Amino acid sequence: MVEFLQFTLSGISFGMIYAAIALSLVLIWRGTRLLNFAQGGMAMFTTFIALEVIYHTGSYWAGFVVALAAGLVLGAVAELTVIRPVLGKPELNAVIITIGLLILLEGLAGIFYSGQYRSFPAAFSITGLRAGSTPLGVSRFDVFVAVAVLATTLLLAVGFRYTSAGLRMRAAAFNATVARLSGIRVVTVGWALAGLLGALAGVLVSPSTFLYPNSMDAIFVFGFTAAVIGGLDSPAGAVIGGLLLGVALSYAGGYLGANVTSLVALGILIVVLMLRPAGIFSGAQVRRV
Amino acid sequence: MNSPAGTHGVQAHGPSSLAVEDLVAGYGEVLALNSVTITADAGTITTVLGANGAGKTTLLRAISGMVRPRSGRVLLDGADRAGRSPEDMARAGIAHVPEGQGVIAELTVEENLRVGMMARPGIARRRADRAAALAEAYERFGPLAERRRRLAATLSGGERQMLVIARALMARPRVLLLDEPSLGLAPRVMTQVMDMVVRLSRESGITIMLVEQNARAALAIADRGVVLNLGRVVAAADARALAADVALRHHYLGF
């Protein structure tokens, strides 16, 4: 019973990170109908920038803020420089460009930092919390992870619902033709926000995974799986998908052994794609006009 | 705010003339428009008629930038804008209401109208201007006011058509392109939509290009008519003259 509680809580903490990556993929998907394979690479790169800032300033929070800002800028620059020219061309072109961007970023990180594993600091204590004498399986930092992603998600949701930029993005996501005929150009905002979410995920996950050029590859796959579970079109689905996947992988790792988690993730991905290719929350979207 | 002077005061530009010259456009090997020349004088209703596949929809799409013309000119008040993106065309004052009642079903009625304002960043930025523009739309299209918080998906066919036209007008366009606004509507509702188009033309003086399957109804409200066949203009004349031309009607318009 205690084990179950521990696995559940730690699953939620990791699930929030998958949710952040999933949400970033959904933002880009909704704006451009494109899967950004460079999302993990961008997150890795901004986390290296954070590490550099923390090293020079001695302040974790300075690194945290710079990483998010760098994510925002990197997302926007990537869209403006390499993605925009290929939009409207065959989709495969853009997909290959994102893979190229991934290889470029991982290559650059390799040149600057070599392939070494680096430890990345956590904002709060990573020793396990206890309720009385019962270990909960999560630390203060895990709580921070959950709160940070949740707060960012809620901010985005409020922004989507109540701001003009949010309305533009929703209009473009639901009906690209009408949006274009209304003079709306939103692609860059989606990429910038996705870059920010990726950067957040990178900073939050790196204390647990270490930081190296490929360190976000597995997280990207989990985030992608979470996005597919939720349906690539649904921001709420992405968050729920992330949580479900996080908990499922935590149980799998806890009860079956850590080496099966990737296998379980891919198994879930295949099952979802076979049974509900539009995601398990696709029922809410009745139709596309 | 509701005085006629106020209504015209926020009109950024007067109506504009729209013309296409030697316009050629198509999809792959197929030429949907073959050297089409049409002039729509400022403030008039020009209806574009013809059978399915005549090139009517492509004509509107080429004007609004959804389809890139292979050659030819798209003149707005004499300035050539052929080949610009739809976003640019929208900002230049061309509002295109595509076929099929293109409301954004997942957004509310009011959100749909606000989307229509996006082509005019000036107005979208100031809260008071936005509110005034919305109030004006609700006054003109009364049924939308009661449903402003509802999702557009819940509207009837006629209300949807009303909403897409209202949305297009939010940009205060100089030219309005309407693609088959009567499609799929009950005859009574279709009459209401046609009335709405006439009223729009009289009240705001927008230049309207109306593509219609229902040639009889379209010619009844239009100033000029143009008949397309297989991507070419086969007739262009005063609407009454076209409606009176029995041979042409039988041959191309089916009534």
Interchain pair A181, B85: CB under 8 A: no
Confidence tier at B16 by pLDDT (50, 70, 90): confident
Confidence tier at B124 by pLDDT (50, 70, 90): low
- For the segment B180-202, what is each residue's pLDDT rounded down to a tens digit? 888 888 888 888 889 889 988 88
Task: For chain A, say whether B114 makes contact (Cβ under 8 Å).
Answer: yes
In whole angstroms, what is the distance from residue B138 CA to residue B14 CA?
22
Mean pLDDT calculated for residue range B52-59:
88
Interchain pair A178, B98: CB under 8 A: yes
pLDDT score of B3 more than 90: no
Locate the chain A residue with the closest alpha carbon to B169.
Answer: A182
Burial of A270 (0-12, 13-18, 19+ CB in 10 A): exposed
Q: What is the pLDDT of residue B123?
A: 62
pLDDT score of B251 more than 90: no
Mean pLDDT calculated for residue range B21-44:
89
**Phi then psi dihedrals of residue A87, to 5 deg:** -65, 140
More reliable by pLDDT, B123 or A274: A274
Query: By C-alpha distance, which of A39, A28, A40, A34 is closest to A93?
Result: A34
Chain A CB contacts of B114 below 8 Å: 164, 167
Mutate to test the interface with A, among B107, B118, B130, B160 (most CBs of A within 10 A): B118
More reliable by pLDDT, B13 or B74: B74
Confidence tier at A286 by pLDDT (50, 70, 90): very low
Mutate to test the interface with B, among A182, A189, A289 (most CBs of B within 10 A): A182
- For the segment A192-209, what is each residue's pLDDT rounded down to a tens digit? 999 999 999 999 999 988
Q: What is the DSSP string of A198-253?
A: HHHHHHHHHHHH-B-TTTTHHHHHHHHHHHHHH-TT-HHHHHHHHHHHHHHHHHII
3-state secondary structure chain B: CCCHHHHHHCCCCCCCCEEEEEEEEEECCEEEEEEEEEEECCCCEEEEECCCCCCHHHHHHHHHCCCCCCEEEEEECCEECCCCCHHHHHHHCEEEECCCCCCCCCCEHHHHHHHHHCCCHHHHHCHHHHHHHHHHHHHHCHHHHHCCCCEHHHCCHHHHHHHHHHHHHHCCCCEEEEECCCCCCCHHHHHHHHHHHHHHHHHHCCEEEEECCCHHHHHHHCCEEEEEECCEEEEEEEHHHHHHCHHHHHHHHCC
Mean pLDDT calculated for residue range B152-181:
90
Q: What is the pLDDT of residue B14?
A: 62
Task: For chain B, say whether A88 makes contact (Cβ under 8 Å).
Answer: no
Mean pLDDT calculated for residue range B84-109:
88
Beta carbons of B118 and A168 less than 8 angstroms apart: yes
Confidence tier at B125 by pLDDT (50, 70, 90): low
Q: What is the pLDDT of residue B189?
A: 85
At CA B101, angle to CA B238 and CA B23, rounded to 5? Answer: 45
In whole angstroms, what is the distance from residue B1 CA to residue A276 CA?
53
Task: For chain A, say whether B68 makes contact (Cβ under 8 Å).
Answer: no
Beta carbons of B50 and B228 less than 8 angstroms apart: yes
In whole angstroms, what is the distance from residue A38 CA to residue A124 CA?
29
Q: For chains A and B, what is the number of CB pairs under 8 angstroms?
A: 72
- Cα–chain center distance at B214: 15
Question: pTM to 2 decimals?
Answer: 0.77
Mutate to test the interface with B, among A167, A175, A181 (most CBs of B within 10 A): A181
N residues, chain B: 255
In the beta sheet, which residues pair with residue B233? B228
Comparing CB atoms, the residue among B91, B102, B153 nearest residue A183 is B91
**Phi then psi dihedrals of residue B89, to 5 deg:** -65, -40
Interchain pair B115, A171: CB under 8 A: yes
B46 Cβ contact partners less than 8 Å away, ≥ 6 residues apart: B38, B40, B207, B208, B209, B210, B222, B223, B224, B225, B226
Q: What is the pLDDT of residue B29?
A: 81
In the beta sheet, which residues pair with residue A176? none
Beta carbons of A181 and B96 less than 8 angstroms apart: yes
Instruction: Work out the minimum CA distance from B157 to partner chain A, whole angstroms.
Output: 13
Confidence tier at B121 by pLDDT (50, 70, 90): low
What is this model's ipTM? Answer: 0.82
In the beta sheet, which residues pair with residue B229? B232
What six digits make up the tokens of A175? 């009906």
Average per-residue pLDDT in chain A?
A: 89
Confidence tier at B1 by pLDDT (50, 70, 90): very low
Mean pLDDT calculated for residue range B116-133:
78
Count of CB atoms situated within 10 Å of the CB of B232: 15
Q: What is the pLDDT of residue A211?
A: 94
At CA A76, angle to CA A288 and CA A179, rounded to 5? Answer: 30
Question: Which residues 147-206 on chain A approach chain B with CB closer than 8 angstroms?
Answer: 164, 167-168, 170-171, 174-175, 177-185
Confidence tier at A18 by pLDDT (50, 70, 90): very high
